[in-house]
Amino acid sequence: MSLFGMLVRASRTRLAVAIGASLVCGLANVLLVALINQALNAPLGALAGYALPFMLVIALVMGSQVLSRTLFAHLSQQGLATLRLHISRHVVAAPLRGLEKAGRGRIQAALADDTTTLSNFFTGFPMLVTSAVVVLGCLGYLAYLSWAIFLVSVLAIGLGSLGYHLCHSHMLQYFHKAGSSQDQLFGHFDAMVSGAKELKLNRSKARRFLDEVLVNAIEQVRHNRAKGLMLFAITGGWGRLLFLVLIGVVLFLRLWIPSDTEVITGYVMVFLYMMGPLEGVLLNLPQMSQARVASARIEATLAELKAEAQLQTPIPAVLPKGVTLALDGLTHGYFSEREDEVFTLGPVALTLNPGEITFLVGGNGSGKTTLAKLIAGLYRPESGEVRVDGRLVKAGEWDDYRQLFSAVFSDFHLFDTLLEAPDASLDTQVGEWLAKLHLDHKVSVSNGSFSTRELSQGQRKRLALIVACLEGRPVIIFDEWAADQDPAFREVFYCELLPELRAQGKTLLVISHDDRYFHLADQLIKLERGQIVHRQAPALAAGLQPVVQRS
Of the two residues 58 and 291, the one the predictor is more confident about is: 58
The residue among 390, 384, 368, 391 whose CA lies nearest residue 477 is 368
Residues 198 and 267 in one domain: yes
pLDDT value of residue 495: 93
Most confidently modeled of 177-191, 406-420, 463-477, 533-547?
463-477
> What CATH number is given to the structural domain containing 99?
1.20.1560.10
- Residue 91's pLDDT band (boundaries 50, 70, 90)? confident
Of the two residues 159 and 504, the one the predictor is more confident about is: 504
pLDDT value of residue 499: 94
Residues 403 and 522 in one domain: yes
Q: What's the whole-number mean pLDDT along residues 108-125? A: 80
Residues 329 and 274 in one domain: no
pLDDT value of residue 32: 86
Reported as a single tens digit per residue, the pLDDT across 356-392 is: 999 999 888 888 999 999 999 988 888 999 999 999 9
Determine what percent of the chain is predicted with pLDDT higher than 70: 85
Residues 475 and 538 in one domain: yes
Q: For 365, list phi and psi in degrees, rounded to 5.
A: 85, 5
Q: In a 10 Å sphere around its CB, with 0-12 CB exposed, 13-18 middle and 19+ buried, how is residue 28 labelled?
A: buried
Q: What's the whole-number mean pLDDT along residues 310-332? A: 77
Q: What's the whole-number mean pLDDT along residues 429-458? A: 84
Q: What's the whole-number mean pLDDT along residues 316-323? A: 73
506 vs 164: CA distance, rounded Å: 68
Select from 304, 339, 368 the last residue of a domain: 304
Does residue 436 sit within a domain?
no
Does residue 447 sit within a domain?
no
Residues 190 and 264 in one domain: yes
Residues 64 and 140 in one domain: yes
Residues 335 and 289 in one domain: no
What is the domain count for the chain?
A: 2
Does residue 267 sit within a domain?
yes
Q: What's the whole-number mean pLDDT along residues 294-321? A: 73
Residues 286 and 342 in one domain: no
Residues 230 and 259 in one domain: yes
Residue 510 has pLDDT above 60, yes or no: yes
**Can you list the positions of beta strands (E) in 414-494?**
445-446, 449-450, 475-479
Report the chain's mean pLDDT, rounded to a whole number: 80
505: phi > 0 → left, psi -120 to 50 → alpha, else beta; which?
left
Residues 228 and 93 in one domain: yes
- Residue 34's pLDDT band (boundaries 50, 70, 90)? confident
- Residue 548's pLDDT band (boundaries 50, 70, 90)? very low
pLDDT value of residue 372: 93
Residues 352 and 488 in one domain: yes
pLDDT value of residue 541: 32
Residue 477 has pLDDT above 90, yes or no: yes
Residue 473 has pLDDT above 60, yes or no: yes
Most confidently modeled of 281-290, 454-463, 490-499?
490-499
Mean pLDDT check: name the lowest of 7-21, 94-108, 379-393, 415-429. 415-429
Of the two residues 47 and 317, the one the predictor is more confident about is: 47
Reported as a single tens digit per residue, the pLDDT across 183-230 is: 778 778 877 877 776 677 677 778 888 888 888 888 888 888 888 778
Determine how β-strand 548-550 pairs with β-strand 531-536: antiparallel
Residue 20 has pLDDT above 80, yes or no: yes
Q: Domain range for residue 490?
A: 325-414+453-550
- Residue 104's pLDDT band (boundaries 50, 70, 90)? confident
Does residue 259 sit within a domain?
yes
Does residue 431 sit within a domain?
no
Residues 287 and 346 in one domain: no
Q: In a 10 Å sphere around its CB, with 0-12 CB exposed, 13-18 middle and 19+ buried, how is residue 532 labelled?
A: buried
Residue 133 has pLDDT above 50, yes or no: yes
Reported as a single tens digit per residue, the pLDDT across 54-82 is: 899 899 989 988 888 888 888 888 888 88
Does residue 419 sit within a domain?
no
- Residue 355's pLDDT band (boundaries 50, 70, 90)? very high
pLDDT value of residue 326: 93
- Residue 551's pLDDT band (boundaries 50, 70, 90)? very low
Does residue 348 sit within a domain?
yes
User: Which 8-state DSSP code applies to residue 110?
Assistant: I
The residue among 188, 192, 190 whose CA lies nearest residue 200 is 192
Does residue 178 sit within a domain?
yes
> What CATH number is given to the structural domain containing 520?
3.40.50.300
User: Which 8-state DSSP code applies to residue 312?
Assistant: -
Q: In a 10 Å sphere around its CB, with 0-12 CB exposed, 13-18 middle and 19+ buried, how is residue 279 labelled?
A: middle
Determine what percent of the chain is predicted with pLDDT higher than 90: 15
